[in-house]
Structures are given as structure tokens and as C-alpha cells.
Amino acid sequence: MKKLQKEITSGNTSPVYFFHGPESFLKEELTDLIKKKAFPSEEEAALNTTVLYGQDLTLGEIVSRASEFPMFTSRKLMIVKQFGKYKKQGAQNKQKQHLEQFIRYTQNPVDATILVLDADQIDKKEIQKAPFKDLLPFRHDFPLIKNPDIFATERAAQQGWEFDPEALKAFSTYIHPAAREIARETEKLIMYASSRSDEKRITSSDVYECVGISKQYNVFELEKALAAKNLRLCSGISLMIMEREGQKEGLMSIVRYLTTFYIRIWKLHSPGSRNLPLSETAKMLGMFGKQEYFAKNFLQYATRFSLSDTERAIQALQQTDAALKGLEAYPDEKYLLLRLMQQLLSQK
């Protein structure tokens, strides 16, 4: 992604791009960057940019439109959204003719056209077939964001800002792991923090105040209470989270967070895992960037929770998750929460 962005920024644009995957925000950003680099002004870009949709066009029609020369300028930008759903019209021999025409175009594209083919996630078997396999030299994949903390760190760094470790932990836990939302909320955080200080650093207070997370009742305080095996405090914090976020939504958030918490502890019960360098431990636990700072906490947690405690906790979380998905009847979410806390901290 960074390599592609650098190439476009330097003005080294390709005549064809095949953007594939579900992360639409990043595809839109790069398409906008192509537009800025292809045209000297916004007016010229508007006049020479065409947005079409795959379901309205056959492969032959895409080639026909892409082969047309631009008006008044040396280049044009043609964007075909939902390309994976291109129209298959006519008899089999006609469709074959369109396919062959399209493949020939990709082998020798028109210099005056920048063709951006934008497709959502295509089935693994389908993408190995024509015309998608023939677009492999132009293909760039855009999967969903897997590590929101890394993406948020990179977005902030683009503007010369950085997150404190506690701030990044809070932000990446509560933010929806989608590029569009992470980018928008990071931008808001930077604007908020810049009004507070000239220092380009986002603190945990900035996150709590701007994103709207309670300083007392959040999953981080719950983690501390759980590590201390304080049943009463765990139950109280959890109930307040549910009160704030909604009963079912809050409990689902707690279950997701604690599942990650216990799976990390479970991994540290594997032979030799606690003797690794801290950076390797963090990597094993799925903690990247500044999250590595918290890997040492889990080394301590692994001494407080035995393997049997951890496996019993994971089973209890799976049971609660199943209930929330309708696979088990329950009176209300508060009952589920209190039962879960009893199961997590029972001394069996």
C-alpha cells in the first residue's frame, strides 16, 4: 500500500489499476490521489473523470469507453465501481468475444486513459478465472483492517502526531476496526489535542474526552479488577459499561475484550512461551507497535491464572457468546453478566 501510494505521489501512474477487496475507504483515497496527480486542476479533473458501474457494462463496453480519447486534455480517468459484477450479456460466443477484447486491452492499454477497476471481495475460485486472473499485474488487494492500532498510528504519523501507549490501547479497543472510522476519529483527536497543546502527542485523556469513554468504567479498569480477582469490582464496572453502552451491546463488548484477554494468557501457558524476548512475546500475542508496551502485563497475568482457570474462563465466555447469539435462553443480560463473572472468578 505504501509503495503504491509513493508511486502515485511521484506521478508514476499506471494505465490500469485493479483495486480488489472490501476496504472501500482506502480504495477511494488512492483513487482521489490518482485524480490529483493526473490533472493540473480540480476543474480539469471534474471534466475528464467518469464514474461507471460494472453491472451496467459488459467487458466489451468497458473497453469501448476506455478506448475513447479525452476531450480537450491529454488524459482521462475512468473508474468502474463494482467491477466484479460486470454485465454478462448475449450468447456465449459474444461473451467470449468481449472477454478476449478486454484481455487484449489489458495487454496493450490506451495511454490516454487511466482505468480504475474497483471490485469488492471476489470469491477465491472466481478470481482465478478470466478476466480477473489477467488483471494480476494491476491488482492491489484491500482487505479489512486487522490491526486498528497500527493503522491509527500510521494515520497520526502522516500528520506528525503520535499516540501515547495508553491512548492507543483505549482508542484501538473502542473504535470500530474500519479504515474510514479510524481515519475520521484520528483526525478529530488531532484537532482536539492541538487545541490543548503544541506538543504533537495524543494522550489517554484526549481519547477519553474526545471519543467519549468513561475514565472509571471501561474495559481497561475491568482488566485491572479481573487481574486482582475482585469479583465485586468486576461486576460493578461491567454493569456500568452495560448501562452506558446498552445492555446487549455492552455485554458483547465485554465478552469480545475478555476473550482476547484470556486467549493471550492461554498462549503464554504453552511451553517456553514466557522465556521469549518481549518483542517476540508481543508478536505471539498479536500486540503490535506501541501495544508491545503491555505485553509484560500478560506475563504477570499468566502467573495469576492457571491453565485450567484460563480454559474454564474461555469456555464460560463461549457460553455467554452463544447465549447472546440466541443459542441459549436467558432471563436478561444482567443475569448473563453476573453468571459470567462468577464463572471467571470462582475458586474451583
pLDDT in tens, 149-207: 999 999 999 999 999 999 998 898 888 889 999 999 999 899 888 877 778 999 998 99
Instruction: List every span in the chain annotated with CATH 1.10.8.60.
Output: 148-212
More confident residue, 289 or 10: 10
**CA distances to 56, 108, 253, 345 from 238, in Å:** 50, 61, 10, 14
Q: Is the pLDDT of residue 215 over 80?
A: no
What confidence score (pLDDT) does residue 348 get?
52
Topology of the domain comprising 219-345: Zinc Finger, Delta Prime; domain 3 (1.20.272)
Domain spanning 148-212: CATH 1.10.8.60: yes
Name the region of 289 (left: φ>0; alpha: ψ -120 to 50; beta: rest): left
What SS3 string covers 135-187?
HHHHEEECCCCCCHHHHHHHHHHHCCCEECHHHHHHHHHHCCCCHHHHHHHHH
Peptide bond preceding 131 in cis form (omega within 30 of 0):
yes
| 21 confidence band (pLDDT: 50, 70, 90) | very high
Determine whether 42 is exposed, middle or buried from the number of CB atoms within 10 Å of its CB (0-12, 13-18, 19+).
exposed
Cell numbers 459499561 correspond to what residue? 241
pLDDT in tens, 57-92: 999 999 999 999 887 788 999 999 999 999 998 899
Q: Is the pLDDT of residue 316 over 60?
A: yes
Q: Is the pLDDT of residue 1 over 90?
A: no
Lowest average pLDDT, out of 137-151, 165-179, 314-328, goes to 165-179
Q: Is the pLDDT of residue 292 over 90?
A: no
Topology of the domain comprising 2-141: Rossmann fold (3.40.50)
- In the predicted model, what is the mean pLDDT of residues 290-300? 87
Instruction: List every span in the chain annotated with CATH 3.40.50.300.
Output: 2-141
What confidence score (pLDDT) does residue 129 get?
94
What confidence score (pLDDT) does residue 93 get?
92
Instruction: List every span in the chain annotated with CATH 1.20.272.10.
Output: 219-345
What confidence score (pLDDT) does residue 347 get?
59
Q: Is the pLDDT of residue 238 over 70?
A: yes
Q: Is the pLDDT of residue 235 over 60?
A: yes
CA atoms within 13 A on the CB side of 215: 8
What confidence score (pLDDT) does residue 87 get?
94
pLDDT in tens, 92-121: 999 999 999 999 999 999 999 999 999 999
d(CA 55, CA 82): 7
d(CA 271, CA 182): 37
**CA distances to 6, 123, 126, 175 from 183, in Å:** 19, 28, 32, 10
